[in-house]
Amino acid sequence: AAAAPAPAPVTVVGLGLMGQALAGAFLRAGHPTTVWNRTASKADQLVAEGARRAPTLGEALGASPLTVVCLTDYDAVRDLLGTSGADLDGTTLVNLTSGDSAQAREAARWAAKLGARYLDGAIMAIPSAIGTADAVILHSGPAPDFAAHEPTLAALGTVTHLGADHGLASLYDVAGLAMMWSVLNAWLQGTALLRTVGVDAATYAPFARQIAAGVAEWLPGYAEQIDRGSFPAEVSALETDARAMAHMVEESEAAGVNAELPKLIQAMAARSIAAGHGAEQYPVLIEEFGKPSG
């Protein structure tokens, strides 16, 4: 049988908490890893583990066909790589810095002008998870560029290519944050209510977890309704849900806890009902979510 190809060389630029974790994962997977950071001392531990410290940014970029960048924000990435005169010609840049979709598309434009191939990315993990399957890392940009470097990028975690639009990774990142904070906020609302009668957070948590898991099961069916644009009330009509929302507001106010979140949900449902959707099912609210906020 043919021998497996040797792990490809890779450069990591930016050695903050996340960049150090990224470089460490490449090293552990056997990739010859070159590192560069503005504050050079942050490379010391990685060098002790086998990384090569590039004396200059230019040498770091020249050391590998693939450079993974992870800085504070996109302004820092553009200052360091887009406008500093750095030689990017022939390099593939994978930018794992957090930002928005417009910044990702803009970075793709300036990188192309400088002769680089560019993939954007979003890390949905904490540094200690990097290098394990729990680290979800999303990529967007040209599929052939992702395919060319997927064997290297896979050392970082569970990597996914979302599509050619460079903005997709950032948009999925924000969509994921919307899920995360919405679930947590809903749990905090219920916890605040129950604490007023002496039920502590730990007691409520298993029940809340069961509800969240149950609701997650509804998503594929509700997604079909949204994609069809048809919302028959198979389980419950929005006007029925709206009566339960009124209880949520009343209970919150009566208990003296914050009612802003229940009122926000109630107001969106009220607008949808006023627009004639009261007899339809909950996902019809996508029409309210799809409008600019007033």
Contacts with ligand FVH by CB under 6 A lie at: 14-19, 37-39, 42, 70-73, 76, 79-80, 97-98, 123, 126-127
The token pair that represents 275 in the structure block: 């627009």
Measured from the CB atom, the residue of 66 and 77 that comes closer to ligand FVH is 77
The Cα angle at residue 102 between residues 99 and 104, in degrees rounded to 5: 55
Q: How far apart are CA 186 and CA 200, in angstroms?
A: 16
Count Cβ neighbours within 10 Å for each residue of 234-272 and write b for 16 or more, e otherwise.
eeebbeebbeebeebbeebeeeebebebbbebbebbbeb
Beta carbon nearer to ligand FVH, 36 or 282: 36
Check residue 257 and report its DSSP letter.
Answer: S
Q: How far apart are CA 138 and CA 159, in angstroms?
A: 6
Which of 122/193 has CB closer to ligand FVH? Answer: 122
For the bound state, the minimum distance from the C-beta of residue 60 to ligand FVH, rounded and expressed in Å, comes to 12
Nearer of residues 22 and 155 to ligand FVH, judged by Cβ? 22
Give the phi and the psi of residue 124 in degrees, each rounded to 5: -110, 65
Name the residue nearer to ligand FVH (CB basis): 97 or 281.
97
Q: How many CA atoms lie within 13 A of 159 on its CB side?
A: 23
Strand ranges in the chain using DSSP code E only, listed in sequence order: 10-13, 33-36, 52-53, 66-69, 92-95, 117-124, 136-140, 158-161
Structure tokens at 226: 């949204």
Q: By beta-carbon distance, which residue lies closest to ligand FVH?
A: 16
**Which CB sits closer to ligand FVH, 12 or 248?**
12
* Cβ closest to ligand FVH, residue 61 vs residue 123: 123
| DSSP string for residues in 132-177 | STT-EEEEES-HHHHHHHHHHHGGGSEEEE--S-TTHHHHHHHHHH
Token pair for 79: 């200052």
CB of 155 to ligand FVH, least distance (A): 17
Question: In this complex, which beta carbon is closest to ligand FVH, that of residue 7 or of residue 127?
Answer: 127
Residue 248 has which token pair? 């949520």
C-alpha dihedral over 150, 151, 157, 159, to 10 degrees? Answer: 20
